[in-house]
Amino acid sequence: MMAAPVKLRIILSSNNAEKLTIESGMPTSVEDLANEIKCQFGIEGDLRLQYMDSDFDNEFVNLNQICDIQDKSTVKIIRLSDALDLSQGSMNQSGEEASSSSSDTLILPSDSEFPRSHWPTEFQIPKFSYDVEMQLRSANQDFVSHGVLLTPGHKLKSDILESLAQEIIKFKAYPSNLEIESVAEALIKAHPCLREQGSFSGFYGWKISLKYKMANYRTKLRNLGCPELSINSLKHKPADRCQPAYDVKKPRKAEVNFCPPYPAGETQDSLEGERLALLSEVKKRHNDKVVKEKMSKTFAYRRQEVVRDKPMIAEFKIRWPGLFTVAEVEAEFVRITTGPLVSKFHAQLDQHTAQLIKVFKKKGGSVGTNISRILVPITQVCFAISSEQYGIIN
């Protein structure tokens, strides 16, 4: 017996709702329903589905089980790929900019072909090609059974190093010595048959080989036009200091998206046109959404300008006036580091609060008196929190 058709009201945006008819009946899972919505309405990217919950006066809540909805239910979609919602609890903004941005979302560059992430706490060895995995599986079994170590041939070792380099570049183009070491150590943990005889650590040779491999891989990517690497080529250095080691531009610790490539289909000329359009857009009132979209679109162009030319702040402010607002400074921080600025700052500040209070208390004179008066409520709060934590531990 065929299931009866199901009709659902789908809210696509604040002023846009459609009727969805599923002839085959209610989908068996939330994922199947999301795929059906994508197919019928031509939506791309990840979705979160919400439904009207009668237990909460028909407020929208996340749809986690398909049994929570029925025929003629109302389903709201939230496109996760278009924007990243910022937690307003971590954004302590003030004035007009705070009120205008508190209800908005942070638009991030969503079409980057080469996304970057922070270096992982524990490096995960990637899956190698099928033939390499077969060889390593057999060698690992021999190692477990008979303690025999594998001496990899040139091709096998080259394939392993190539895969590791491709995985490392997802995080950093210039990994540190300790980071290279962590990859080599993770390799022999995942595949103990690759441990080296005569090496104190068991992976020293892999570490050295991986260093050379990363250098060769950077050269390969530089020749292919990777901006983070081509920016260090000799043609971008001064004529009187045309040396490979001069002024090498590398990302600092938190700069995940240090020098990203232009969005697909964009050129330097097209992005310069967007920058010029921004100069007029920032002068318009109630135009935050357009400014955010254009600032996000021109991020790679702006970032390459910063890394390559190192402009003065006054000059940069003339070229990019839209960046010099509270909301856009926070947005740019997220684009570069992938983390929120204000909450990160407060978290780091909390770690140093005790030491800062000690420094302030040492101040003398009238300044010290004023500081001591200000510190009274702060120290009382800190003492109350410490006492509460002590009670919980006990």
Show contacts of 300-305: CB within 8 Å, 24+ apart.
Answer: 300/109, 300/112, 300/227, 300/260, 300/261, 300/262, 300/263, 300/271, 301/262, 301/266, 301/268, 301/271, 301/272, 301/274, 301/275, 302/275, 303/257, 303/258, 303/259, 303/260, 303/336, 304/227, 304/231, 304/259
Domain final residue, candidates 79, 101, 116? 79
In-domain check, residue 238: no
**Which of 311, 36, 279 lies closest to 49 in space, CA to CA?**
36
Per DSSP, the chain holds a count of helices (H) and strands (E) of 14, 5
| pLDDT confidence of residue 214 | 94
Class of residue 149 by CB neighbours under 10 A (exposed 0-12, middle 13-18, buried 19+)? middle
Two tokens at 265? Answer: 């289909």
Which residues make Cβ contacts (< 8 Å) with residue 268, sequence separation at least 6? 262, 301
- Judgement on whether residues 324 and 357 belong to the same structural domain of the protein: no
The most distant pair of C-alpha atoms in the chain lies apart, rounded to whole Å, by 89
In-domain check, residue 248: no
| Torsion over CA: 119, 125, 130, 135 (sign) | positive
Helix (H) or strand (E) holding 77: strand 74-79
**Against a cut of 0.85, is the pTM above it?**
no
In-domain check, residue 122: no
Two tokens at 145? Answer: 């059974």
- Judgement on whether residues 334 and 358 belong to the same structural domain of the protein: no
Domain final residue, candidates 189, 224, 259? 224
CA angle 124, 127, 132 (to 5 degrees): 130
- Judgement on whether residues 69 and 136 belong to the same structural domain of the protein: no
What is the domain-level CATH number for residue 66? 3.10.20.90
Are residues 131 and 158 in contact, defined by beta-carbon separation less than 8 angstroms?
no
In-domain check, residue 249: no
In-domain check, residue 19: yes
Integer Cα distance of 298 and 273 in angstroms? 10
- Judgement on whether residues 281 and 324 belong to the same structural domain of the protein: yes
- Judgement on whether residues 175 and 219 belong to the same structural domain of the protein: yes
Two tokens at 272? Answer: 């310069």
Residue 347: what are its φ and ψ, rounded to 5°?
Answer: -65, -45
CA angle 32, 37, 39 (to 5 degrees): 95
Domain hosting 372: range is 350-393
In-domain check, residue 198: yes
Q: How would you write the pLDDT of the chain (394 residues) with one tens digit per residue?
A: 557 888 888 888 777 788 888 888 888 888 888 888 887 777 777 788 888 888 877 888 888 888 888 888 898 888 765 444 434 444 444 443 433 443 344 455 544 555 677 888 889 999 999 999 999 999 999 999 999 999 999 999 999 999 999 999 999 899 989 999 999 999 999 999 999 988 889 999 999 999 999 999 999 998 888 888 888 777 766 666 666 656 778 787 778 888 888 998 999 999 999 999 999 999 998 888 999 999 999 999 999 999 888 899 999 999 999 999 999 999 999 898 888 888 888 888 888 888 888 888 888 888 888 888 887 776 665 555 555 554 555 4
In-domain check, residue 272: yes
CA 57 to chain CA mean position, Å? 36
| pLDDT confidence of residue 179 | 93
- Judgement on whether residues 67 and 10 belong to the same structural domain of the protein: yes
- Judgement on whether residues 295 and 359 belong to the same structural domain of the protein: no
Class of residue 153 by CB neighbours under 10 A (exposed 0-12, middle 13-18, buried 19+)? exposed
Class of residue 377 by CB neighbours under 10 A (exposed 0-12, middle 13-18, buried 19+)? exposed
In-domain check, residue 324: yes
CA angle 57, 61, 62 (to 5 degrees): 160
Q: How many domains are there within the chain?
A: 4
